[in-house]
């Protein structure tokens, strides 16, 4: 992992130590590999460094994870793309192992501003200059659309995996209820249920390794406070229109039990034939069907 030049805050020290432990004690070998690939980037205007997993070789490809998740979400997909791309997998601001400033507001604007700072810092880390590929999963799909709309000249094309937040409107959670919601999400039984719901066949695919990764980032200092702040903001919603002027493709699992049918119908109305459904696939195409996701990305002619 790359060294930082400025003294680290206690929160940043704890986050960094947690990622280092993940590289040794995760039960999932791909997760260990991805944690070991993390660098800590100092970004302009940000007190603490940001974790970015950097691996592979070739044209740059930025991958954005979903709600209450981390860069570890791409543990299955990264090995399939690393021979073709230099992968850049950050934790979104306020999520994963990203250090949480106690005074910072957590919401869509903070997430996007952090990514814009990361993009400004990116050239010194790239093997090859040029436009960047972009993959966003679940809430990361809405983030990817919003970011590409802000910076269309930066990106080459977009792949969205079961995108959440393209339609609808923000729904801020009132104070007190936000804390109750976070307390609910922290319960081991709830984490287990959510993890199982994300897979097409949880009895086959969800074991101790998946459950460990689904909750590992909860040890990051400030996890509960940041998630409550994000809930109060209303989160990402209604981000799909207008679509950015870039080639686009969407993969959606036929067995997705996280996103409701009305969300899927609204996404179909927005995306049309850009959306492809995958059989035997839940809310995580990049984990349930990583080979199909990789093949889709590596076929640029399928984007429109």
Which pLDDT score, from 0 to 100, does residue 3 have?
Answer: 44
Q: Is residue 183 part of a domain?
A: yes
Per residue in 266-300, pLDDT (tens digit) is 988 999 999 999 999 999 999 999 999 999 999 99
Helices (runs of H) and strands (runs of E) counted in the chain: 13, 8
Q: Is residue 4 part of a domain?
A: no
Burial 208-235 (b: 16+ CB within 10 A, else e): eebbbbbbbbeebbbbbbbbbbbbbbeb
Q: Is residue 148 part of a domain?
A: yes
- Please give the Cα distance from 97 to 35 (Å, whole number): 11
83: domain CATH number is: 3.40.50.1820
248 phi/psi in degrees, rounded to 5: -140, 145
Per residue in 15-37, pLDDT (tens digit) is 999 999 999 999 999 999 999 99
Domain that holds residue 158: 10-302
Per residue in 214-254, pLDDT (tens digit) is 999 999 999 999 999 999 999 999 999 999 999 999 999 99
For residue 180 the two structure tokens come to 């109750």
Distance, first Cα to last Cα, the chain: 37
Total tally of structural domains belonging to the chain: 1
Q: Is residue 2 part of a domain?
A: no
Q: Of residues 261 and 39, which shows the higher confidence score?
A: 39
Q: Is residue 106 part of a domain?
A: yes
Which pLDDT score, from 0 to 100, does residue 276 have?
Answer: 95
| pLDDT band, residue 176 (cuts 50/70/90) | confident
Q: Is residue 220 part of a domain?
A: yes
Q: Is residue 5 part of a domain?
A: no
Q: What is the mean pLDDT of the chain?
A: 94
Q: Is residue 3 part of a domain?
A: no
């Amino acid at each position: 992992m790359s060294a930082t030049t400025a003294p680290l805050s206690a929160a940043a020290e704890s986050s960094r130590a947690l990622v280092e432990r993940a590289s040794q004690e995760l039960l999932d070998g791909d997760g260990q590999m991805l944690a070991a690939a993390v660098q800590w980037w100092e970004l302009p205007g940000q007190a603490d460094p940001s974790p970015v997993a950097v691996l592979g070789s070739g044209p740059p490809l930025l991958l954005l994870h979903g709600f209450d998740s981390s860069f570890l979400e791409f543990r299955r997909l990264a090995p399939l793309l690393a021979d073709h791309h230099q992968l850049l997998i950050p934790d979104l601001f306020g999520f994963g192992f990203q250090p949480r400033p106690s005074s910072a507001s957590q919401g869509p604007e903070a997430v996007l501003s952090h990514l814009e700072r990361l993009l400004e810092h990116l050239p010194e880390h790239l093997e090859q200059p040029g436009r960047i590929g972009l993959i966003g999963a679940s809430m990361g799909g809405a983030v990817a659309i919003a970011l590409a709309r802000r910076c269309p000249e930066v990106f080459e094309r977009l792949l969205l995996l079961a995108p959440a937040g393209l339609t609808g409107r923000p729904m801020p959670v009132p104070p007190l209820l936000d804390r109750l919601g976070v307390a609910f999400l922290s319960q081991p039984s709830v984490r287990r249920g959510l993890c199982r719901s994300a897979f097409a066949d949880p009895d086959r695919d969800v074991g101790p390794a998946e459950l460990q990764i689904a909750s590992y980032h909860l040890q990051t200092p400030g996890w509960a406070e940041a998630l409550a702040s994000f809930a109060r903001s209303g989160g990402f919603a209604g981000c799909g229109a207008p679509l950015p002027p870039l080639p686009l493709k969407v993969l959606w699992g036929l067995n997705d039990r996280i996103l409701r049918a009305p969300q899927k119908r609204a996404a179909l109305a927005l995306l049309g034939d850009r959306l492809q459904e995958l059989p035997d696939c839940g809310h995580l195409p990049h984990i349930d069907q990583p080979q199909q996701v990789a093949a889709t990305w590596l076929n640029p002619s399928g984007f429109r």
